[in-house]
Amino acid sequence: MPNLQPAAVLWDMDGTLIDSEHYWMNSEQQLAKSTGAIWTAEDGMNLIGMSLYDSTRVIKQKLGLSEEPEQIIENLTDSVISQLGTPMPWRPGAIELLLELKSRGIKCALVTMSMRRMALAVAERAGESVFDVVVAGDDVIHGKPHPEAYLKAAELLGVDIRDCIAFEDSVTGLRSAEASEAIAVGIPNIVQLEQKPGRHIWQTLEGVTVDHLIDFYKEQRANDDRK
């Protein structure tokens, strides 16, 4: 018998769950300033959604840094964590939907290319045990747009990835979720997401409820059955 509701909801973090992309871009700017190098807003935009390991290689080369990538990652992560305010800068509708999913017994995973220590700090602020699983950038070999992180989250949750809804705000992240065969939904934030046949783009999560997600899930499964 087919599921009557999604088996799990998989959440990207930066730009989807929390409004933190500008913190990363500010940290990159400050790093460039300390070296006297030029780092433009476009440079920062090009890294959105990319794994920290991949983006750090770009930063290291462009800024001519001597530090190893791991040290650059640690420094940037420290900077971003220090900027996260109180209250946490949740994206519109995100924390409300997340907490309702928890209350309705639908599993949730945080799937991010940020480091695990930052992901856990954000997960803790969402509330104890809200996320059943956290998959971070240092938990996978291949970063987004590779589907590994989403596939690993589904495996750890013990669910079929095709029965999961995944929320993403970046081009790279959305490609990752789509490649995993999750029901991917793009929530644009800083970057525009291309609309194309079969792709789901929602302008916001504000006002979205679990019942909305269940209806959306049933519709997608019915469409699959008709193919």
> Could you report the per-residue pLDDT of 87-141, keeping only the tens digit for each?
889 999 999 999 999 999 999 999 999 999 999 999 999 987 899 999 999 999 9
CATH class of segment(s) 21-83 = mainly alpha
DSSP string across 103-119: HTT-EEEEE-SS-HHHH
CATH class of segment(s) 8-19+89-226 = alpha beta
User: pLDDT means per 10 residues in the chain (227 residues)?
Assistant: 86 95 90 89 88 90 90 91 85 97 97 95 91 96 96 98 97 97 96 93 98 96 78
SS3 44: helix
Backbone φ and ψ of 164, nearest 5°? -110, 145
Asked whether the beta carbons of 197 and 209 are under 8 A apart, the reply is: no
Question: Which part of the chain is CATH 3.40.50.1000?
Answer: 8-19+89-226
Indicate the length of the chain as a whole number.
227
State residue 103's pLDDT score.
96
Cα distances from 205 to residues 2, 217, 219, in angstroms, run 26, 15, 18
State residue 225's pLDDT score.
74
What do you get for the CA distance between the two ends of the chain, in Å?
18
CA distance 197 to 26: 35
Asked whether the beta carbons of 159 and 108 are under 8 A apart, the reply is: no
Tokens of 197: 């046949």
What stretch of H or E contains 134?
Answer: strand 133-135
State residue 3's pLDDT score.
76
Question: Which part of the chain is CATH 1.10.150?
Answer: 21-83
State residue 227's pLDDT score.
62
Backbone φ and ψ of 126, nearest 5°? -70, -25
